[in-house]
Amino acid sequence: MSEVMPGVADAPKGNWVDRFAPAAAKPYLQLSRMDRPIGTWLLLLPGWWAIAFALPPTDSGFGWLVVLFAIGALVMRGAGCTFNDITDREFDAQVARTRGRPLPSGRATPRQAWIWLIAQSLVGLVVLLQLNALAIALGVASLGLIALYPYAKRFTWWPQAFLGLAFNWGAILGWAAAAGTVPLAAISLYAAGIAWTLGYDTIYALQDKEDDALAGVKSTARLFGRATKAWLVPFYLLTALGIAAAAYLAGAGWPFWPFFALACAHLVWQIRALRIDDPADCLSKFRSNRDFGLLVLAGALVGSVA
């Protein structure tokens, strides 16, 4: 009888990695979170927002940038998650949701994980080198934020802020790649993304608050406690204001605003419907942020051609 390779607790049931990937490849794909694509979406969308605001879809370079950023987000999210799992493998072994990951479960060794990390990073470098000089410099500058994030939970109650700084760098990078500049609109979009991450990653961290307390891991979910939903209000309000300011500064046409209104309604629904003591509901609300991001993207696309 062939050995059944275990999945990871918070991966969608029946995901393609668990169902179709060769057994030897599964630990590597799980290190990269290929079985959980939501993180790739959340990393990719701010970059796509910036490209859509800065460059009309009819421009000859638009499609090429969209593809490059998709590949870059896939491999760099994978590299970042692999690095995170290397640094957190002892913590992950103490948390029910994460102890089935490849490193704490022993299905991959740290050496194998480092080799996989380097391979993904080299692909990311090839992608980065296709961009203009400003974008390349900004891409290199982001490495410090990426390296710092996994350690943030050890020294601050606000690791979600460090994730926001790293995860939304695509808003800066995308604008630079599309327009060769980083205007105030790009800065506003970046700030909006940071606030958005503070909201959605706090929701994500609610799943682990009891285990995190036992392991000594800090998070905004533990810091806010029963007041978590109240804290989400200013985070998502700042998200909406930052995106609105970016759209206005970028000269987005009127079709942007109906999509933006729907996106804002989605954020209101998240806060009102969230059940902070229900891990499954927290994971579902966290994943729903892809829909928010896609609504903003749709608005940016139609607003740029209006």
Residue 244 has which token pair? 């609105």
**Is 196 within a domain?**
yes
**Is 2 within a domain?**
no
Query: Residue 8: what pLDDT?
Result: 67
- pLDDT, tens digit, for every residue of 3-26? 344 556 667 778 899 888 999 999
Q: Give the span between the Cα atoms of 38 and 35, in whole angstroms.
A: 9
Q: What residue has token string 């296709």?
A: 130
What value does the mean pLDDT take over residues 44-51? Answer: 98
**Is 61 within a domain?**
yes
Query: Residue 7: what pLDDT?
Result: 59
Residue 159 has which token pair? 């690791």
**Is 47 within a domain?**
yes
Above 70 in pLDDT, residue 92? Answer: yes
- Between residues 306 and 208, the one the model is more confident about: 208
**Is 99 within a domain?**
yes
Residue 116 — very low, low, confident or very high, per pLDDT cuts 50/70/90? very high
- pLDDT, tens digit, for every residue of 170-223? 999 999 999 999 999 999 999 999 999 999 999 999 998 887 887 788 999 999
Query: Residue 181: what pLDDT?
Result: 97
- Residue 101 belongs to domain spanning: 20-305
Above 80 in pLDDT, residue 118? Answer: yes
Above 50 in pLDDT, residue 2? Answer: no
Query: Residue 6: what pLDDT?
Result: 54
- pLDDT, tens digit, for every residue of 211-266? 788 778 899 999 999 999 999 999 999 999 999 999 999 999 999 999 999 999 99
What value does the mean pLDDT take over residues 46-67? Answer: 96
What value does the mean pLDDT take over residues 36-48? Answer: 96
Domain count, the chain: 1
Q: Give the span between the Cα atoms of 135 and 64, in whole angstroms.
A: 15
**Is 257 within a domain?**
yes
Looking at every residue in the chain, the average pLDDT score rounds to 93
**Is 15 within a domain?**
no
**Is 3 within a domain?**
no
Cβ 16 vs Cβ 35: under 8 Å? yes
Most confidently predicted of 5-19, 95-109, 121-135: 121-135
Query: Residue 203: what pLDDT?
Result: 97
Within 10 angstroms of residue 285's Cβ, the number of other Cβ atoms is 23
Closest CA relative to residue 211, chosen from 115, 104, 294: 104
What value does the mean pLDDT take over residues 150-174? Answer: 94
The CATH number given to whatever domain includes residue 129 is 1.10.357.140
- The CA–CA distances, whole Å, from 177 to 75, 115, 205, 295 equal 18, 29, 32, 22
